[in-house]
Chain A
Amino acid sequence: MTSSIDVSLGEVAASLVLVALGVGLSFWRRADLERDIGIAVVRSIVQLTAIGYVIQAIFDEDSLALVFALIAVMVVFGAIQARQRARKVPGAFVPLLISLAVAGAATLGLVVALGIFEPEPRFLVPVGGMVVGNAMTAAAVALNRLGDEMHDRAREIEATLALGATATQAAAPSLRRSLRSGTIALVDSTKTTGLIFFPGTMVGMLIAGADPTDAVRLQLILLYSLLGSVSIAALLSTTLAYRNFFTPAQQLREPPEPGAGTAA
């Protein structure tokens, strides 16, 4: 399953032609995306180059402690980034931090415990990065939806509380929809993988000259690991965060405006 490929800076620079094409199209159609594309390109170069050196250093040191430190940093930055998408959720940072940490730890712990990967930096670093990244996206989407739900359905939730329901019972429909929002993108892409798109790991391995069977098997392992981590992150983040919308007396902290909304 080992293979290698040399990629020159010239080849990377050549790929920027496609970015230039995108910028040109944006300019032509006045989509006003040129600046954002430029920022994305610069950030990707800087961030990936930097992480490339960090990963190289960790591989050279062959230290599990450094692996955990790197993943911990990813979890913290992931939680900070996801919080931007969860602005309507009060106190979202701690639930995000816990959900990303648990999703990462549980997924990596299981793949090592089940003997799928050796506990070595060259496995744990890339898999950890994918797991935390996908968990971050799932938790951010789930909490974004939860914030919208709790705001848009405040009347329905308070009407349920008014019958003597607990906060958990009143929020349950919104929690279900938020959880579904957080996980559905990966579930759908897993359903269509190999038919509509080829996932990145498989593509990378094929380009690097790996046997297609090996590439597919590794991709399946990663997809299943990601499905697990994404489910954990979405479930845990919404389960921990929804309570912040309620007081200990099972009241909405931000009740609906009197007479707000329209009759159905």
Chain B
Amino acid sequence: MLFDLEGVDYARAGTPVLRDFSAGLREGATCVAGPSGSGKSTLLRLLNRLADPAAGRVLYRGEDVRERDPLELRREVCLVPQLPALLEGTVADNLRFAAGLGDGEADVGRCLELAGLDESFADRDARRLSVGEQQRAMLARALAVEPRVLLLDEPTSALDAVARDAIEATLTDLRRRLGISLVLVTHDIEQARRLADWVVRVEEGRAVAAGAVGEHLGA
């Protein structure tokens, strides 16, 4: 199992977000699906220790994430947030910054290509890109860290259908070419069906179902 969550509780400002949450997320592509406000985004943040649960455990490949150095864990299990949040500077600056966190050097061209952007984006001002381009730049920046797992929070929620289809094709291609695992949060069941092998359904802070996409969502 890629991740195991065992009896996880998490509250925000006193309001419970996850309650006795238990589920397994498999290698490959797992989709965490459920309605808005059900705790899906919070769940992702627990997986790479952007937050710690008040109770319960989060295991990554069988090891409690609290036993891991949080910085190393985040470079291995990299989260791409729902809304673009790039740093000031060019796209290449952002990629070099990310690669430098692990003392590496960014292969800017390759990361851009993997994220579906051509090399001309390297010198573009990151904050002047369209939302769809910023989403791709965020993806490219995460790839510069060379993660083993990508956590993607509603990666297409702000995009139109054309841009959404392009990002989905990029994610499918990434899995095939790099062999990295994806954990994808979405409220779009169709997207879960298109991208994932395994699905965990979340409602009101609890995992209510888990299984193969074909069994739970139909073909």
Among residues of A, the one whose C-beta sits closest to the C-beta of B131 is A263
Q: Does B209 contact A (CB under 8 A)?
A: no
How far is it, in angstroms, between the C-alpha of A155 and the C-alpha of B101 when the chains are bound?
A: 19
Nearest CB in chain B: distance from A170 CB, A: 10
Q: Is the CB of B81 within 8 A of A164?
A: no
- A159, A251, A263: the one within 8 Å of B158 (CB): A263
How far is it, in angstroms, between the C-alpha of A264 and the C-alpha of B125 when the chains are bound?
A: 12
Q: Is the interface of A mostly helix, strand, loop or mixed?
A: loop
Q: Is the CB of B74 within 8 A of A251?
A: no
Nearest CB in chain B: distance from A242 CB, A: 17
How far is it, in angstroms, between the C-alpha of A140 and the C-alpha of B82 when the chains are bound?
A: 34
What 1/0 mask marks residues of chain B from 90 to 125 whose CB sits below 8 Å from any chain A CB? 000000001001100000000000000000000000
Among residues of B, the one whose C-beta sits closest to the C-beta of A262 is B83
Partner-binding segment picked from A94-102, A107-115, A253-261: A253-261
Residues of chain A lying within 8 A (CB to CB) of residue B78: 162-164
Q: Is the CB of A163 within 8 A of B81?
A: no
Q: Does A169 contact B (CB under 8 A)?
A: yes
How far is it, in angstroms, between the C-alpha of A160 and the C-alpha of B74 when the chains are bound?
A: 10
What 1/0 mask marks residues of chain B from 32 to 53 whose CB sits below 8 Å from any chain A CB? 0000000001100100111110
Among residues of B, the one whose C-beta sits closest to the C-beta of A172 is B87
Question: Would A159 and B81 be within 8 Å (CB), given that A164-B101, A173-B88 are in contact?
Answer: yes
Q: Does A249 contact B (CB under 8 A)?
A: yes
Residues of chain B lying within 8 A (CB to CB) of residue A250: 70-71
Which residues, 78 to 128 on A, are CB-close (under 8 Å) to B? none
Q: Is the CB of B49 within 8 A of A249?
A: yes
Q: Is the CB of A259 within 8 A of B127?
A: no
Q: Does B142 contact A (CB under 8 A)?
A: yes
Residues of chain A lying within 8 A (CB to CB) of residue B88: 173
Count the A residues whose beta carbon is within 8 Å of the partner chain — how many? 24
Q: Does B75 contact A (CB under 8 A)?
A: yes
Nearest CB in chain B: distance from A254 CB, A: 9
Which residues, 201 to 223 on A, are CB-close (under 8 Å) to B? none
What 1/0 mask marks residues of chain B from 152 to 186 whose CB sits below 8 Å from any chain A CB? 00100010000000000000000000000000000
Q: Does B145 contact A (CB under 8 A)?
A: yes
Q: Is the CB of A263 within 8 A of B84?
A: yes
How far is it, in angstroms, between the C-alpha of A211 and the C-alpha of B79 when the chains are bound?
A: 66
What 1/0 mask marks residues of chain B from 137 to 161 whose CB sits below 8 Å from any chain A CB? 0100110010000000010001000
Of A158, A164, A165, A264, the most chain B CB neighbours within 10 A belong to A164
Which residues, 127 to 163 on A, are CB-close (under 8 Å) to B? 155-156, 158-163
How far is it, in angstroms, between the C-alpha of A263 and the C-alpha of B157 when the chains are bound?
A: 11
- A158, A169, A262, A264: the one within 8 Å of B50 (CB): A158
Q: Is the CB of A156 within 8 A of B85?
A: yes
Residues of chain B lying within 8 A (CB to CB) of residue A165: 71, 101
How far is it, in angstroms, between the C-alpha of A263 and the C-alpha of B159 when the chains are bound?
A: 10
Q: Does A166 contact B (CB under 8 A)?
A: yes
Q: Does B72 contact A (CB under 8 A)?
A: yes
Q: Is the CB of A164 within 8 A of B74?
A: yes
How far is it, in angstroms, between the C-alpha of A156 and the C-alpha of B102 when the chains are bound?
A: 19
Q: Is the CB of A249 within 8 A of B134?
A: no
How far is it, in angstroms, between the C-alpha of A250 and the C-alpha of B86 when the chains are bound?
A: 19
**Interface residue ranges, A against B (CB under 8 Å):** 155-156, 158-166, 169, 173, 249-252, 255, 258-259, 261-264
**Interface residue ranges, B against A (CB under 8 Å):** 41-42, 45, 48-52, 70-75, 78-88, 98, 101-102, 127, 131, 134, 138, 141-142, 145, 154, 158
